[in-house]
Amino acid sequence: MAELKKFLSKDGSIRIATVISTETVNDAFRYFEASPLAKTLMARAITGAILMASQMKERLGTALHFIGEGPIQSIFASAQYEGGAKVYCENRNAELPEGVTHLGAGLGAGRLDVIQSRPFEREPLRGTVELYTGEIGDDIAYYLNQSHQIPAIVSLAARPAEKGVEVAGGYIIELMPGYTDEIIQKLEQLQPLVESTVRKLQHGAAPEDLIDIYLDHFEFEEVTHPYKPHYECGCSVERVERSLLLLGRGTLDEMVKDKESAEIACEFCGCKYELSIEALKKLRDSLDEVPVH
Ligand SMILES: [Zn+2]
């Protein structure tokens, strides 16, 4: 199980969520492989969603949708306050173009859509910003700053391995209303002294080790968070059927013609669903009932 910890400075002006998400990320890669580029960006995205959702309230969650012109095309990651999280990448085999080392080029220019549920509101809060660097962490920091006027330090890290990732984790430090210029200056002075998150993760860091410098220089109290992040898809045969409907009548017709039944894999977790020929026919026929204008 992943470890997540939260801290609040005694004056209430700085809050931190920090997590070691290696296991959660590796659960995402249990059913399918991905290129090192896709793995790294997907791991950062799900880690970011987990951290953001952890600062919400019961039964609320955050979804991050990165959409770019680069080879990755898009990454979707979502997490609930209770820890369930999942991630999907449009082109899991994407590689960086020859000679390019900047990982942000995987997404390229594009945008980040953030959908956050709100307490007591039926409609979620939607926000969109342009991708800042496409490196995920920078884009989340940019979103928090632009859409919520929250200055933030976001560090999301992952090191891909032969199978899944070797390590993944990160933290988000947010300034809360009432912060002073002095606090910003102090954070800015500390930032260059912080050792790389990947290196810390590789040395077996606990969540609080990732942010130890900040904990040493401000007075913090730990905030109890009763949930552990975990990979959770929440898929069902109904959802798989709904995604089949999007393929349209032609595709469903072919499936009905070719097969006795169809095995459909969920695109988030690889979980396989067997649909009978009757179920496929019913789906196909239901499309005819939709009025065409
Ligand atoms: Zn699933």
What is the tens place of the pLDDT at every residue in 126-152?
A: 999 999 999 999 999 999 999 999 999
Ligand 1: centre distance to CA 263 (Å) = 13
> What is the total count of domains within the chain?
2
Whether residue 150 lies inside any domain: the answer is: yes
Whether residue 291 lies inside any domain: the answer is: no
Same domain membership, residue 226 and residue 112: yes
Ligand 1: centre distance to CA 24 (Å) = 14
Ligand 1: centre distance to CA 84 (Å) = 12
Residue 249, classed as helix, strand or coil, is: helix
pTM of the model: 0.88
Ligand 1: centre distance to CA 33 (Å) = 15
Same domain membership, residue 186 and residue 282: no
Q: Domain range for residue 88? A: 3-231
Alpha-helical runs (H) found in 87-156: 137-148
How far is C-alpha 68 from the chain's CA centre?
A: 15
Whether residue 292 lies inside any domain: the answer is: no
Same domain membership, residue 248 and residue 196: no
What is the tens place of the pLDDT at every residue in 216-247?
A: 999 999 999 999 999 998 888 888 888 788 77
Give the domain CATH number at 271: 3.90.1280.10
Same domain membership, residue 281 and residue 216: no
Evaluated on CA atoms 126, 130, 132, 134, the torsion sign reads positive
User: How many angstroms separate the most distant Cα atoms in the chain?
Assistant: 70
Ligand 1: centre distance to CA 231 (Å) = 10
